[in-house]
Amino acid sequence: QTVVTQEPSFSVSPGGTVTLTCALSSGSVSTSYYPSWYQQTPGQAPRTLIYSTNTRSSGVPDRFSGSILGNKAALTITGAQADDESDYYCELYMGSGIWVFGGGTKLTVL
Amino acid sequence: EVQLVQSGAEVKKPGESLRISCKGSGYSFINYWIAWVRQMPGKGLEWMGIIYPGDSDTRYSPSFQGQVTISADKSISTAYLQWSSLKASDTAMYYCARQDPAGLYYFDYWGQGTLVTVSS
């Protein structure tokens, strides 16, 4: 079964830059997997940040950007703010109407 | 305004059956896939399956195939997630989400979540 792996946790200083990644257990992540990224704060439903690798969802600040770095999908936050402290999930489209989420990264801003 | 409104929290006993719902409004419900996502307490998101209300075409994650049933009633713009015999391990928050309309394979709108608690 396909496993999608993210860093369990990450820390960034206010104003700093952080890159979270999303890897496949077998093979490389490419644009063909249409990687998307979601932000979730405690007690809230997920919020869509990035879709189709690098397109920001409506209303998402431009400090969030998506890309492919090497063989992984990546979410970069440039100029992190306190309210960016959240859980971040990548999601990959595996084809045939099946999606898989990564395990999530808990981001701390301090 | 697009909205997905889910049914309220449920408390059930092991072995009981349950159906939770997700009602779409503000868009053409039959033309958009609706997915279900599980989040167990303190854990990450898990994609369970998806349905196209227009023709009830349904796909399941291998992890959830046979464990739950996804259905939809297009006449009332509502998707469902159901269990025939709940287990304590089904305790989780469940979200529905709408797939984007442009074939970019992401979920653009989410329901508020339904908390299911299974305990004897």
Measured CA to CA, the distance from residue A22 to residue B49 in angstroms comes to 21
Question: From the CA of B120, how many Å to the nearest CA of chain A?
Answer: 25
Q: How much is the pLDDT for B102?
A: 82
**pLDDT over threshold 90, residue B95:** yes
For position B17, what pLDDT does the model report?
Answer: 98
Helix, coil or strand: residue A31: helix
Residue B80 and residue B70 in contact, taking contact as beta carbons nearer than 8 Å: yes
Rounded CA-CA distance B43/B38 in Å is 9
Confidence band for A2, pLDDT divided at 50, 70 and 90? confident
Pairing of strands A105-109, A9-12: parallel
Does pLDDT of B72 surpass 90? yes
SS3 per residue for chain B: CCEEEECCCEEECCCCCEEEEEEEECCCHHHCCEEEEEECCCCCEEEEEEEECCCCEEEECCCCCCCCEEEEEHHHCEEEEEECCCCHHHCEEEEEEEECCCCCCCEEEECCCEEEEECC
Q: What confidence tier does B103 reach under pLDDT thresholds 50, 70, 90?
A: confident
For residue A1, pLDDT over 80 is answered with no
Q: How far is A36 from chain B (nearest CA, A)?
A: 6
Who among A47, A96, A99 is closest to B47 (CB)? A99
Q: Does B46 reach chain A within 8 Å, measured CB to CB? A: yes
What residues of chain A lie within 8 A of the CB of B104, using their CB?
34, 51-52, 55
* Nearest-neighbour CA in chain B from A69: distance (Å): 20
Number of residues in chain A? 110
Q: Which of B106, B107, B112, B115 to mutate to test the interface with A (most CBs of A within 10 A)?
A: B106
Residue B13 pLDDT grade (very low, low, confident, very high; cuts 50, 70, 90): very high
Cβ atoms of A87 and A26 closer than 8 Å: no
Percentage of chain A exceeding pLDDT 70: 100
**Up-side HSE of residue B111: CA atoms within 13 Å toward CB?**
28
Residue A15 confidence (pLDDT) above 80: yes
What is the per-residue pLDDT for A74? Answer: 98
Query: Would you place residue B14 in the very low, low, confident or very high pLDDT band (cuts 50, 70, 90)?
Result: very high
Residue contact B95–A46, C-beta within 8 A: yes
Rounded to a whole number of angstroms, the CA Rg of chain B reads: 14
Tokens representing B4 are 């997905």
| CB spacing of A51 vs B104 below 8 angstroms | yes
pLDDT at B101 over 90: no
Interatomic CA distance for residues B84 and B15, integer angstroms: 8
Residue B37: pLDDT band with limits 50, 70, 90: very high
CB B13 within 8 A of CB B31: no
Q: DSSP letter at A44?
A: S
| pLDDT tens figures, A77-109 | 999 999 999 999 999 999 999 999 999 999 999
Average pLDDT over residues B85-102: 95
Q: For the segment A53-68, what is each residue's pLDDT rounded down to a tens digit?
A: 999 999 999 999 999 9
Interface of chain A toward chain B, CB-CB under 8 angstroms? 1, 34, 36, 38, 40, 45-48, 51-52, 55, 57, 87, 89, 91, 93, 96-104
Taking an 8 Å cut-off on Cβ atoms, the answer to whether B104 and A91 are in contact is: no
